[in-house]
Structure formats: C-alpha cells, structure tokens
Structure 1
Amino acid sequence: MSRLLAPFTRAVTYTRWLHLLVGVLIALVCGMVYPGLVRPGVREWTLIVLIPVPLLVATAVIPAVRRAEGLQARLMLFPGAHARVEGDKREEGVSVAPSASWRDRGRTAAWLTLRLWAGCAVAFVTVQLISPSMQLVDLALGGRGEGASLIPLPWHGWPCALLVPVPLLVLVHTVALAGRLMASAALGLLGPSAAERLAALEERTEQLLERNRIARELHDSIGHALTVAVVQAGAARAAADPAFTDRALDAIEETGRAALEDLERVLLVLRESEQPASRRPTLAEADRLLDSARASGAEVDAELAGALDTVPGPVSREGYRILQEALTNVLRHSGTVPIRVAVTVDAAQLRLDVRNPLPAGTPVDARSGGSGLRGIRERAALLGGRARTGPHEGQWQVRVELPLG
C-alpha cells in the first residue's frame, strides 16, 4: 500500500507534472490562433500539436534557450533532496550552459519538441482521468454524470463513490512514470556537451593538482620545522651547554616562525580568503635553510654558483622546497652528519646536489620510497626536469636538474 501511495507523497511528482503541463502552453496559444479550440477534431488536434514545432526549432537556435531549459529541468525535474526520489542525485547531469555548437542547438530543438508532445499527451491523460472522477461523484449524488471524458461510465447511484479514487490513482502513477521518462530524456538531450565534459575534467584535474601541491607544501615546510626542532632539542640536551642551548632555541624559534607563516599562507588559500597570501620563499633565501641545518649541529659545506635571483619564480620556489626537503631528509634519517650542498645556475638550467655520508650498514634501497623523496621527484617532473635520489659512491645523493625555460 505504501508503494501504491508513494507518488502522492513526493513533491517531485507534482513539480514534474507542472513541468510537463507548462510545455503545452505554446500549443494552446498557437491553437487559439489556428485552427481554433472550439470542438476540435482529430485533424485540428494534429495541427495544434504540429504547428508549434517549427517555432520551437527556430527558438532553439538562440544559445540562451538551452540554458533556460536546463535551469527549468534542474528545478522541476530534479527539485532537490527534499523532493527527490531516494538515491536520485542526477541533476548535475543537466547542463545550464548556453548552446556552444549546432549539435547543442539540435539537441535543444529535440528537447523542446519532445517536451511539447509529452506535455500534450500528459494534458490529455489528465483531462481524461480527472473527468471520470468528477462524473463518478456526480453519479453518486444522483446526477447524470455528464463530462468530457471518453471513458464510458455505466454505473449509477452511491456505489460510484467507491470508484472515485481509481482514476486519480491511475493518473498520478501515469504522471510519475512520464516524469521519470522526461528526467531521463533531459539527461540525454540537455546533458553537457563534449566540450563541457572536457572543461569539467580539466577543472577537476586542476583541483587535484592544487591539492597535491598544497599537501607537498605542508609536508615540506612543517616536516622541516619539526625535524629541525627535534634535532636541535636533542643536541641541546646532549651538549648540556647553556650557550649552545640558547643558539638551539633561537634556531627552533626562527624555524617555527617560518613554518607558521607557510601554514597561514596555505590556510588562506584553502579558505579562499580575499586577503593576499604571503609570499612563498625562493632560492634567494637558501641561506636561511643552510643556517637552520647548521644550527642543528650539522656541518654544511655549501657552494652557490650563479645568480639565484635571476631564476624564474616557479623554478626558484620549487627549488627552495626541494632543497628544504633534501636537508630535512638528511637530518631526519642521518642526524648531524656532514652535508655537501651545491646549487648551480647557468643559462639553461638549475642544478641542485645534496650529499651526505651513509651510515654503515645502510641498505642500498634505503629511504628510496618516502613521501618526501617522492615529492621531490614530482616537483621536478612538473617543471620538466629530472631528479635522482639514492646511494651514490658511498653517499646519499639528491640530484635535481630543472630547466629555466
């Protein structure tokens, strides 16, 4: 019984019903002009249904018509969670973009024609099934039961009252079925074009790339700060030297402050705040990374060759993060060992080389699959460069080459 009465309780049944009946208005207007609506026969009804078609096809050429039909379909065929059939969340499949090609215009014309004919059919069924219910009420009250219905009603008297709900039940179920069919047709005829699907795919890809970039930024910045803080705290405890402890605390403070700036910048981007995000560090500030590593107790031998301030912004920013992760990787896995850093800039490319001794007994493939090293390779690949990470001549090496063009 609940399934039998379900269409009566769903708002989507009535919004789709209204959507179908609205499509009949153009036929009624044209029918008033010609051939008229006074006692129309089969010929007149055929003309009433066919005459508006050329007008609808011409209207479909206007790009904005497709957008208007898409909005109507979304609002009335898929009217929201409060009225939607359970599990039916397909309104996103109806485009609300104007026509961008003749194929879109052709699909819009087919939709308008289908909506006209389906609306006329539903309007006819509505009249033919509401009228018998009214006639049955009249017969039950002792009247003659006259009406516009083509369905014969041979019964008379009060038993007719028992049959009043039957035509209404058939009508609502018929309308519900027609509404589902029109919703499916809308997905096919008003669905996004190939160009719109490609644009949506590109937008989704850009969002995923941005998320990955933000994840790498947080990993590199926060990971570096925490690694330096842990190493500094451990070294200060082991040294038991007040002067060294002061220097360690200064280094932890400076690194923590830089990490907080990076975190605030990323949060501003995620919140889409109107405030401008803080500037991302570049290789021109590489000394800050080197000093932070030295303050951790590591011996850093650095060679910076070339004009770092002339490196293009994207390359310089990614180069800074790569150097930061390489130093963090050394401190995290090898501790305060000697580190050799070489940053070279020439006319064609930027080269970064970070090396440190491998502890005795380190496996050949050690540290080759961490997320930080994977991030280094991803950054290099996105810029069209190359990255090599792994053991080399008894040392651990991170070597990256980034084109400047």
Structure 2
Amino acid sequence: MTRGFRPLLRGSTYAGALFAYCGALVSLPLLPFAALPALAWPSAPEGVRIALTVLVWAVLIGVLGLARTTRRVLIACARRMLGVPLPDPVAEPPRPTAPTRSTAPGSDRLRTPLWLLAHVALGWAGAQSAVLLVGAGLLLPGGWAGAEAGVSVRGWSLRPEHGWQSWAAALGCLLLAALLCLAVTGALRWLAPRLLGPSSAERLALAAERERALAERNRLAHELHDSIGHTLTAATIQAAVAGEVLGADPEAARAALRSIEESTRAALEDLDYVLGMLREEQTATAPPRSLADLPELLDRLRHAGAVVEPELAGDFTRVRGTPARAAYRILQEGLTNALRHGAGGPIRVTVTATPDALRLSVVNRTGSGGGSGGGGSATTAFPTSGHGLPGLTERVRLLHGEITAGPDGPDHWRLTARLPVRVPA
C-alpha cells in the first residue's frame, strides 16, 4: 500500500508536471497570431472560429518544432525535468539513399512537432484540471468559505452538507490533483524516448561513429603492438650482443647501444602518436610508419646482428596511404618473429610493387627439421597465439588482401602477403 503512494511523494513527479505546465505557458505568445484568421472571419459561427484558432495554433506550434535548436532545447529540458536519458542529436544525420517503411525521410522530422503538440496539449489539460482540483481542495472545507461552500463547473456542483464531508471531498480533490501530476509526468516520460530519442537516421549515424571509433582504436592497438613488440625484441638482442662483445670489441658494443637508443626513440615517437590519438589531441609527433621507413628498420636489424637480404623490385616508395602503412607493419612483425623465434642465418625480405598489388615476403631459418610436417618447431617459428599473426590477418583482410604463414621446406619459415594497391602514375 505504501509502495503505491511512493511516486506521489517524489519531487520528480511534480517536476515533470511543472515541465508540462510550462510548455502550455510558453505556447501562449502564439495564441494572438493563431486568432488572426478567426478575427478576419467575423461572420463565421463561434464554434468554427474556435476550431480555426485551435488549428492554426497547433500548426504554429508544429512549425516551431521543425527548428533543430528547438529539438536540442527540448532534449536538454526533458533530461533535466523528466529524468529521461536522451542523447544529444547528431549534428547532421545522413540522409537515407532509399526510403523504407521504417525509415521514411519525413517521419523522423515530424517527431519533434508531434512532441511539442503532445507537450502543450498535456500541459493545458493538466493545468486546467489541476487548478480546478486544487481550488476545490482549498475551498470545500467550511472553515475557508463558510457554511455554503461548494464548487460549480458548467452546471455541475459539489456542496457537501457536513464538515467531515467537506474535508473528505477536499482531500479527494487534492489526491486526484497529485494523481493527475503523476499521469502527466508518466505520459511525457513514455513519449520522450519515442519522439525526442534518436531517430532512425541518427541511430545509424551513431552506430557508424561507434564503429569508426572502434576501428580506429583497433588500428592504434595494432600499431602499438607492432612497434613496441619489435623494439623490445630488437633491444633485447642488441643488449645481449653488447654484453658479449663489451670487453673484446668496445666499438661493436657502442654500435649496439646506439642502435638500442635509436630504436627506443622511434618506439617512443610511435607511443606518443598513439596516446595522442587516443586522447584526441593534436600531437606533433611523426606520422605512422610506412614503406619509406623500411631502410631504417632494416638497419636496426643489422645493428642487432641479423643478416638481412632485401630484394626490392618496383618503385614501392610511391605506394602511399593505408597499404604503405600496413606493408611496413607486416614486414616489421615478420622480422620481429624472425629475430625472436628464428634459428639464425640470413633473413630474406622481398618487396615487389606492381601497378595493382604489393607483394611482401619474409623468409627465415627455423632450425634443422623445423619446417615440414607442421610440428612443434613450426609453431615456435611463427606463433599463432597472441596478437601478432591475428593482427596481421585482420589488417590484410580489411584491405582485401591475402596472407599466408607456414613452413617453407625442411628448415625455413615463410610469411607472404599480397595487398591490392593502385600505384599513382
């Protein structure tokens, strides 16, 4: 029983009703303009002039709801007064290329005028009824208006004969007024998500924006994984080399330390770039790596003691944009795995640029007996767990390319990729 009356004791119930009543008051300045056609037609019957005034008034209210600023203000007020979680409208929702039954072009645009009309209608009906009920609740007790206290509306009258009846009727009127506020607030809360919530076009725009943000974050995660993973692998090998030759060949040790410094500085630039993008800041760091940075990558591997045999064919430096960045990361990941899991020996790197495709290949030794048969050594040569190979596969898939990784003969591992590109003339 107490739980049923709990909504009547909440301030949000009466805040929502006040919101409705304020909507009715805000519509009053339009009433004189709505009455002009009726005033210009004095010979019409009174009922016709009243209906004409109400019709013009509704049209003016609906036209006011077509403005995008009006929708923003209404959404902010509904969030505050009704407590309904409504997202901000999208600045420019995309226009559907072909209208469907559920997403007709004009239906979404008419939702705000419909909300305004419902808001004003509920406000006027609720305000008039509330004033009548509260007035009756205050006037019916005999102590306020004498022994003949009563309420009369359009021929209907309420005149309790005894004092206790007056107080009971007054309490009933006040309870009805509270229930009316609850009904008006509930109706507005039910209508708000349907008329002020995201339209079908706005929901598509929000979904597209979330998908774009997720794809960008995934791309940045791949960038960070590839850059930091390669740098840590190369720095570890270079530090081991420096430690072994520190006494016998100080110059080689210093070269290894310089290579560690250069590779970690490049990794810090990549990290700064990724963090700046995640924070949506304008960062002044270098742009993401591309094929133009391939010579620097190969030099760092040589400083780590690796023997790299590059085979470059075609003018791959003219390949720009996403394919160039993806190609660099594919080669970086393949070389990192060759350093981490390979068995020494030369690493063959092939990059071939043609007018319609970019072909990449990284081949390294896996040790004796590690290739054919797909046994355990093949797995150690290029692990299929973690984020390396799945990340590369995802990159290539998004570019509609092809990638393979597996044993190449008895003791080699090969990573190959083909990226469709269009080399500018």
| TM-score normalised per structure 1 | 0.82
Partners of 1:131 and 1:334 lie apart in 2 by 90
Q: Please give the alpha-carbon distance, in whole angstroms, between the structure 1 residues aligned to 2:170 and 2:284.
A: 68
Deviation at 1:218, TM superposition (A): 0.7
Identity of counterpart residues, as a percentage?
Answer: 35
Question: CA offsets per residue over residues 186-221 of structure 1, 9 Å max, x none?
Answer: 222333332222211111111011100110111011
CA RMSD of aligned residues (A): 3.5
How far apart, in 1, do the equivalents of 2:157 and 2:365 lie? 95
The yes-or-no answer on 1:9 pairing with 2:25 is no
Where does structure 1 lack aligned partners over 5 or more consecutive residues?
37-42
1:337 positional shift: 4.3
Whether contact under 8 Å (1:298, 1:335) holds in the other structure is no
**Residue 253 of structure 1: how far off its partner (Å):** 0.8
Alignment of 1:239-318 (within 5 A): 239=245, 241=248, 242-318=250-326
> Contact (CA 8 Å) 1:137, 1:164: kept in 2 or not?
yes
Q: Which residue of 1 aligns with 2:387?
A: 371
Aligned match for 2:58, one of 56, 59, 74: 56
Contact 2:8 2:182 (C-alpha < 8 Å) held by counterparts: yes
Q: Which moved more, 1:380-389 or 1:23-32?
A: 23-32
Whether 1:91 and 2:91 are equivalent positions in the alignment is: no
Equivalent position amino acid for 1:393 in 2: G
For 2:267, what is the secondary structure of its paired residue? helix
1:221 corresponds to which of 202, 211, 227: 227
- The secondary structure found in structure 2 opposite 1:77 is helix
Offset of residue 355 of structure 1: 0.8
In 2: Cα distance, 1:199 partner to 1:29 partner: 35
1:76 and 2:77 matched: yes
Q: Which residue of 2 aligns with 1:167?
A: 173
Q: How much has 1:114 moved relative to structure 2? A: 2.4
Q: What is the DSSP-based 3-state SS (H/G/I as helix, E as strand, rest coil) of the residue aligned with 1:354?
A: strand
Q: Give SS of 1:388's match.
A: strand
The aligned residue for residue 392 of structure 1 is 408
Between the aligned partners of 2:29 and 2:131, the Cα distance in structure 1 is 15
Deviation at 1:255, TM superposition (A): 0.6
Q: 1:357, CA displacement in angstroms?
A: 1.5
Aligned partners of 1:93, 1:327: CA distance in 2, in Å?
Answer: 47
Task: Return closer, same or farther for 1:248/1:7 CA change in 2, 3 Å cut-off.
Answer: farther
Q: Tell me the secondary structure at the aligned position of residue 418 of structure 2.
A: strand
Matched with 2:98 is none
Number of equivalenced pairs: 391
**Alignment gaps of 5+ in structure 2:** 39-44, 96-104
Q: Which residue identity does 1:116 align to in structure 2?
A: V
Is contact 1:70–1:96 with CA below 8 Å preserved after alignment? no
Answer whether contact 2:360 2:418 (CA < 8 A) is retained: yes
One-letter identity of the residue aligned with 2:259? A
Residue type of the partner of 2:293? E
Does residue 180 of structure 1 match 2:198? no
Distance in 1, matches of 2:142 and 2:343, equals 96
Structure 1 pair 288–95 and aligned structure 2 pair: CA distance change class (3 A)? closer
The equivalent position to 2:202 in structure 1, one of 196, 208, 226, is: 196
AA aligned opposite 1:120: W
Q: Residues of 2 paired with 1:99 and 1:164: CA distance?
A: 55
1:209 partnered with 2:215: yes
Offset at residue 343 of structure 1 (A): 1.1
Alignment partner, residue 404 of structure 1:
421
Check conservation: 2:226, 2:333, Cα contact below 8 A: yes
Partner of 2:341: 333
Q: Distance in 2 between matches of 1:98 and 1:396?
A: 50
**Which residue of structure 2 aligns with residue 129 of structure 1?**
133
Question: Which residue of 382, 387, 391 corresponds with 2:398?
Answer: 382
Shift of 1:135: 1.3
For 1:350 and 1:98, the matched residues in 2 are separated by: 37
